[in-house]
Chains A and B, each alone.
Chain A
Amino acid sequence: MTAYIEHLTPFLRKTPFHPRIEALMHANSWMRWTGHYSPANFESVQSEYFTIRNGASVYDVSPLIKYAIRGREAADFVNHLITRDLSKIKPMQAFYTSWCQDDGMLVEEGTIFRLGENDFLLNAAKDQLHWLEQTAYGFDVQIEEASNDLCGLSLQGPESRQVLRAMGINGIDNLKRFGIQELELNGHWLRIDRAGFTGDLGYEIWCKPESALWLWDRMFDAGRDHKIAPIGAQALEISRIEAGFLLVDVDYTSALHALRPSNRMSPYELGIGWTVNLNKPGYFVGKRALKKEKEQGLSRHVLIGIEIEGRKPAPGSFLYADQPGKVELGLTTSATWSSTLKKNIAYARVPQAYAKPGTEMWIEIWYGKEHKIERSMVRCWATNRMFYDPPRKSA
C-alpha cells in the first residue's frame, strides 16, 4: 500500500491469545492465516519442532474457519455432504473426512466435530459457506459461520497429556483419539478434542474468547515442568509432513478455487480414498463420479510419500522413471528434511503404477549453493505417506 495513504485502518485481526503471543514473538516472524496475525516462528524453528516431538507445543488455532451445522436434518445433510459414512460416528466424536464437488473433485478435507445427533462443527481452511449452503438446499438445517465464537490452542507432543493433567482436567486419560470432552474448569467452559496436525499425541483445547488469556496462562503454568513452549507455523509444517497430512493450496487446490482443471483432485488421487465410502446408505455429493473413477480406473495419479537420497529438501521437484530424466512421472508438493526420522521426505504425485512402496524413481532437485542454483538428480523411493506414526498418538 502506497505510503501517502495515511488514514488506512488496520485490518488484520488479532486472536484472543494475541497479547501472549506478541509478548513472546522475538523473531518478528508473522504470517497471515485467514486474515489473522499468526506466528511463523518465535525464535528457532528447530527448537520449536523438537518441542512438538519431545515436549508439549502450543499453537494458536483460533483462525481456523468454523461452521456450525445444526437443525432437524443436520445429520442427513452432513452425510450428504461428506464422503464418509456418518452412521459410524457417535456424538462427541471428531472425524476426518473429504467432501467433494459433483465431479468427485475435492472441495476440502478436514475434521468435523459431531457434538450431538444433529449438531456439528466443521473446521475448514477455506471459506465455503456458499458451497455448504448450496449443498444444504432441501435439508432442514442451519449453517452458521462460527469462526469467532470459539478460540483454541493446539497442545501437541508426548508431554501434552501431562500438561492437561497438571491443569486439573479430569478424565483426560480416558479421552480416546478423536474423542471430544466438554467441561468447566474454574468457571471457564472448555472443549477438548484429541486430534491435531502433528501426528503425535495431542489435543485441541477450545474456549470462549473471554477465557483465552486465562487458558493460556493456566496451560503454561501447568506446563512449566513439562517442556511447554509456543510454536509457529514453520515447525508445525515439518511435523505435518512427517505425519502425512494434506495442506490445501500446497498439496491440492480446492475445486472451488482451482483455475486449471488439472489442479482439481479427487480423494483417490490424493491418496485418501479410504475416506470415501461408496457403500454407505443414501447419496452423497460426487458419489456417482467417484464410483465411476474407482470402477473405471480414471484417477490420473496418486499422491504418495517418497524418501529421497541426500538431504536437500525437494518441494516442487520433478520425478522421473530414469536417471537421464526422459520419462517424467510427476511432481512433488510438500517436502522437508525430517530431523526425527533423519530422512529426506516429500509427497509426490505419480502414476498409480509407481505408487507401490519401494518403487525406485529419480528426482531432479534444484537448490541454492551460495550465489548459484545447482541441480542434482538423485534416487527416491515410494513409501507410505504417513512417515511418522508413533504408538502414543492413539494409545
Chain B
Amino acid sequence: MPETYDAIIIGGGHNGLTCAAYLAKGGEKHGKKKLKVLVLERREKVGGAAMSEEIYPGFTYSTCSYVCSLLRPEIFRFLDLPKYGLQVIPYDINSAPNPEGEGIIYYSDHDRTRESLRRHSIRDAEAYDEYAMEISRHCRFIKRTLMMTPPDPTQLNPFVQNRINPWGHREDLDGLLKIGREFGRMGERNMYDMIRFWSMSVADFLDQYFETPRWKGLAAASSIIGTALGPYSPGTAYVLLHHYMGEVDGQIGAWGFARGGMGSVSKAIAAAAEEAGVEIRVNAEVDKIIVKNGKAVGVALKTGEEIFGKSVVSNADPKRTYLKLIEKGDLDAIDPDIHRYATNYKIRGSSGKLNIALDGLPEFAGLPKEAAYGTVDIGGDFDYIERAFDDFKYGSWSKRPFLDCVIPTTVDPTMAPPGKHFMSVFVQYVPYKLAEGPWTQEMKAQYTKDVLDTIELHAPGFKKLVLHVQTRTPWDIENEVGMTEGNIFHGELTLDQLLFNRPFPGMGQFRGPFDNFYMCGSGTHPGGGVMGAPGANAAHEMLKDFKRGVVQ
C-alpha cells in the first residue's frame, strides 16, 4: 500500500493546524527530523470555528469564536505567529448595562475599577482584591497543567508495559508527582481552597465575597459561558478559571481582539504550518478512518479517495470522531465500552450567536459610552441567569438570555467600513434541539427577535442601528463547523470530562484505541477555547511515539 504521509490530520481548525505545524517542525526540542503532514479540511477554507467571513458586504464577521486570550503564548512564539500577521489587541473594559439604573463597569486599571464598584457597594469594591487574588492563586496552578499530558492515575505502576505506555515509562507517575509537588508548594491552606473551589457552584463562591446581585451576576458570566449549567450548579466555579487563565502579553486574565477577526488566528497558524512544509487540502471531507489489524492506516474521503499515512489524527470532536468517522465494529474489536463512552459523552451545545452589522456604535443603558469598547454582558443577577438556564433545561432558548456582546470594530479598523460596526453577540442558553423538535425558520426568527429585544431593552435605540443579522443556533454551528450539537468546547468542561478523562476514561492522553491514531481537538486536554494547547500537546505525544518507534 502506498504510504506517503507521516501524519494525516482530519480537520483544519486551529488545533489541527497547530498540531500539524508542531509535527512538521518536529517539536520545540528536536527541530531536525521533519515529518510529512497532511491536513484535510471539509470546507473550502481552513479555520473551523476560528473564522472570519464577509457575510454582509463590507463587514468581516468573526462567525463563531470572537475574542482571543487563551491562545498559549508558547504557541504564539514557537510558531512565530506575528510573522504571519497575527496581532492581538487587548481591551480593557467589561460591563453590564442596567435598564433600571446604573450599570456595572470594570476596567483593567485597578483604581478605576475600585471607583466604579464603589458606586454600587463599598463592601464589594473592597472585597474585589481578595477575590481576584484567590482566582489568581487557582490560575497559577492550573496554568502549569495546560501544556502537559494529564497523568492517568490508573497507570501509576512504572513496571507495567502497555500500549499507551509502551515501554513501561514512569510518565504518569512522574506527571502525578509533578502536579503533587506544584500542589504542595501552594501551602496547605490554598490546597483546601482549591479542592473546594473545584467542586462548588459559582454562586456559592461569589456569595462569600460580594453582595450586589448584578455585580455577582456579571462576575458569574465567565463560569456559564459555553456550559450547560446554571450558576447554582456545583462545579461551575472551576469554569470561571477557564476564562481567567488566558493572557495577552503576560497580562493574566486579559482578553483581546484578533486584528481582522478570529480568522486571522487560523490563517496565521495555517501559514506557519505551510511554511513548515505541511500540505493543506480543502474541500476534502473525510468519511471514515481506515483501520486495519487494530491500526489506523489512513482515511477515506467522501469522494471515495483513500489516503494512507503512518498515523491519523482527528481534530474533530470526540463524538463525531468515534461515532461517525470510526466504524463501530473497529471499536468493538478493541473494547465494547468505548462506543458506550462515546455515546455517553456530554456534549450539549448551549450557546448560539448573533452576528450583527451596525450602522453606528450602540449606547448601553446605565453605562458610559466607553463601555462599547469592551465586553458588554447583558444579564442580571444569579436568578436571571438561572431562569435563562431553566428555559434551556426543558428544551427552549432562553426567553431572556444572557448575552456576551463585543464590538471588535471599536478597536479593529479592518473589519467594517469607517463609522460602521460589527457586533458579535454570544447567546446563552440555546439548545441544539428544541423540545418540540428540530429548529424551524419560524423558531429561529422568534429566537432572533428575543435576543434583539433583550439587547434593545439594555441598549435603547439599538434596533435602529441594525443593518444585518446572522443567526446561529447550536444546530447551525454543528452543520457548518461540524462540532457535534454545536458545543463550542468539543464536550462540556465538567470535572468528569477533564484531565485524564478527556475525552474518555482511559483515553485522556491524546491517543485513541488504535495504534497510530491520535486526537488533537478541544475534546482533549486541556479543553476548549482558541487555546491551541490540545494541538500542541497532541503533537508532543506523537513525536514521542515517532521517536520511540511506536509509529512505524
Contacts and interface: CB of A to CB of B under 8 A. Distances in A.
Say if the two chains contact directly (CB < 8 Å).
yes
Interface stretch (A125-133, A236-244, A374-382): A125-133
A129 B126 contact: yes
A11 B111 contact: yes
A1 interface: yes
Interface in A234-282: 256-261
B373 interface: yes
A5 B190 CA distance: 40
Contact of B123 (A1, A34, A35, A130): A130
A9 interface: yes
A259 B140 contact: yes
A5 B370 contact: yes
B81 to A, nearest CB: 22
A14 interface: no
B209 interface: yes
Given A103-B189, A130-B209, A7 B133 contact: no
Contacts of A12: 111
Contacts of B373: 5
Contacts of B186: 260-261
A256 B114 CA distance: 17
Nearest to B413: A4
A145 B140 contact: no
A145 B111 contact: no
A339 B127 CA distance: 41
B265 to A, nearest CB: 21
B166 interface: no
Contact of A11 (B109, B130, B189): B109
B122 interface: yes
Contacts of A11: 109, 111-112, 115-116
A261 B189 contact: yes
A257 B140 contact: no
Interface in B177-203: 185-187, 189-190
A8 interface: yes
Interface in B104-132: 109, 111-112, 114-116, 122-123, 125-130
B92 interface: yes
B136 interface: yes
Contacts of B128: 127
Nearest to A65: B126
A2 B257 CA distance: 14
B369 interface: yes
Among B126, B133, B185, B368, max chain A CB count under 10 A is at B126
A11 B368 CA distance: 13
A326 B411 CA distance: 52
A1 B411 CA distance: 12
Interface residues of B, number: 31
Contacts of A35: 111-112, 114-115
A224 interface: no
Given A2-B411, A35-B115, A145-B122, A9 B130 contact: no
Contacts of A127: 114, 125-129
Interface string B460-489: 000000000000000000000000000000
B104 to A, nearest CB: 15
Given A257-B133, A261-B187, A8 B123 contact: no
A8 B111 contact: no
Contacts of A133: 123
Nearest to B139: A259
Nearest to B112: A11
Interface in A177-217: none
A259 B123 contact: no
A261 B190 contact: yes
Contacts of A72: none
Contact of A257 (B130, B368, B369): B130
Nearest to B92: A1
Contacts of B209: 130
A330 B126 CA distance: 33
B137 interface: yes
Given A1-B92, A8-B370, A259 B136 contact: yes
Interface string A218-238: 000000000000000000000
Nearest to B90: A2
Nearest to B187: A261
A381 B250 CA distance: 39
A352 B410 CA distance: 57
B113 to A, nearest CB: 9
A356 interface: no
B189 A7 contact: no
A32 interface: yes
B369 A128 contact: no
A106 to B, nearest CB: 15
A110 to B, nearest CB: 16
Contacts of A131: 130
A23 to B, nearest CB: 24
Contact of A9 (B92, B122, B368): B368
Given A11-B109, A130-B123, A256 B115 contact: no
B111 A32 contact: yes
Contacts of A32: 111
A294 interface: no
Nearest to A9: B368
Chain B CB within 10 Å, residue with most, of A35, A103, A131: A35
Interface in A11-26: 11-13
A261 B137 CA distance: 10
Contact of B133 (A4, A129, A258): A258
Given A32-B111, A35-B115, A103-B189, A257 B122 contact: no
Contacts of B133: 256-259
A129 B370 CA distance: 30
B370 A7 contact: yes
Given A1-B92, A11-B109, A259 B130 contact: no
A125 to B, nearest CB: 12
A62 to B, nearest CB: 15
Contacts of A34: 111
Contacts of A103: 189
Contacts of A258: 133
A383 to B, nearest CB: 32
B130 A130 contact: yes
Contacts of B127: 127, 129-130
Nearest to A127: B126
A2 B127 CA distance: 28
A34 B110 CA distance: 10
Nearest to B114: A35
Interface string B276-304: 00000000000000000000000000000
Nearest 9 CB-CB pairs, A to B?
A261-B187, A35-B111, A130-B127, A127-B126, A129-B126, A11-B112, A7-B369, A145-B122, A256-B130
Given A130-B126, A258-B133, 8 more contacts: A1-B92, A5-B373, A11-B116, A127-B128, A131-B130, A256-B130, A257-B130, A261-B190
Interface of A: 1-2, 4-5, 7-9, 11-13, 32, 34-35, 103, 126-131, 133, 145, 256-261
7 contacts: A2-B411, A11-B109, A126-B129, A129-B123, A130-B127, A131-B130, A261-B185
